[in-house]
Amino acid sequence: MKAAVITISDTRSAGRAADESGPAAQAALNSLGFDASHLVLVPDEANEIRALVQSLAGVFPLIVTSGGTGAGPRDVTPEAISPLFDKALPGFGEIMRIGSFEKTPMSIISRGGAGVIGQCLVVMLPGSPRGVRECLDLVGPAIKHLMKAIQGGGQCHAGPHPGS
């Protein structure tokens, strides 16, 4: 299944610094069985981020973003993308923050998360390569499960129901 990776960064999109988080996301997604060969860099501009996600959501069943999830003045990824969601998935952000906290106490500052646009899952990750790898390790199994469900391959549920 194809996946697009978007690195959201003023400095990286302008070529003033190397993009390490996008390739980290690609490698992690490829190891999960996705074809993450599409990588795009975009500055921290809400309108550009929103337009890019909207255009890719009709083409790719999975979009993973890296960057712009902090609390700085240029961190606008959640504001740009979340209004596009048909269904928000708050558990993704919760587990990414909780699961990363022991290794990276500042993970509580991240505003990353996920949601569904039509039949496309969008996952917003932090901007560091380490954060990308840690978060995809945490949510990878849920991504694989959810992709089958939103692509019409079955029901999406949290696990066995009581009494089953």
Can you tell me the mean pLDDT for 108-137?
Answer: 97
Whether residue 36 lies inside any domain: the answer is yes
Can you tell me the mean pLDDT for 84-89?
Answer: 98
Whether residue 164 lies inside any domain: the answer is no
The domain that contains 38 carries what CATH number? 3.40.980.10
Q: Is the pLDDT of residue 152 over 90?
A: no
Whether residue 18 lies inside any domain: the answer is yes
Can you tell me the mean pLDDT for 8-37?
Answer: 97
Given a contact cutoff of 8 angstroms between Cβ atoms, the answer to whether 6 and 65 are in contact is: yes
As to burial, measured by CB atoms within 10 angstroms (0-12 exposed, 13-18 middle, 19+ buried), residue 157 is exposed
Structure-token match 């921290």, residue found? 44
Residue 118's region, left for phi above 0, alpha for psi from -120 to 50, else beta, is left
Q: Which of helix, strand or coil describes residue 90?
A: helix
Name the pTM for this structure. Answer: 0.92
Q: In angstroms, rounded to a whole number, what is the distance separating the alpha carbons of residues 24 and 3?
A: 13
Whether residue 156 lies inside any domain: the answer is no
What pLDDT was estimated at residue 151? 81
> How many structural domains does the chain have?
1
Instruction: List the domain range (segments joined by +) for residue 137.
Output: 2-150
What pLDDT was estimated at residue 105? 92
Query: Minimal CA–CA distance to 24: which of 53, 56, 66?
Result: 66
Whether residue 162 lies inside any domain: the answer is no
Whether residue 159 lies inside any domain: the answer is no
Whether residue 163 lies inside any domain: the answer is no
Q: CA 38 → CA 27, 64, 104, 131, 152, distances in Å?
A: 12, 10, 28, 20, 23
Residue type, 97: R
Q: Is the pLDDT of residue 157 over 60?
A: no
SS3 sequence of 107-157: HHHCCCEEEEECCEEEEEECCCHHHHHHHHHHHHHHHHHHHHHHCCCCCCC
Whether residue 15 lies inside any domain: the answer is yes
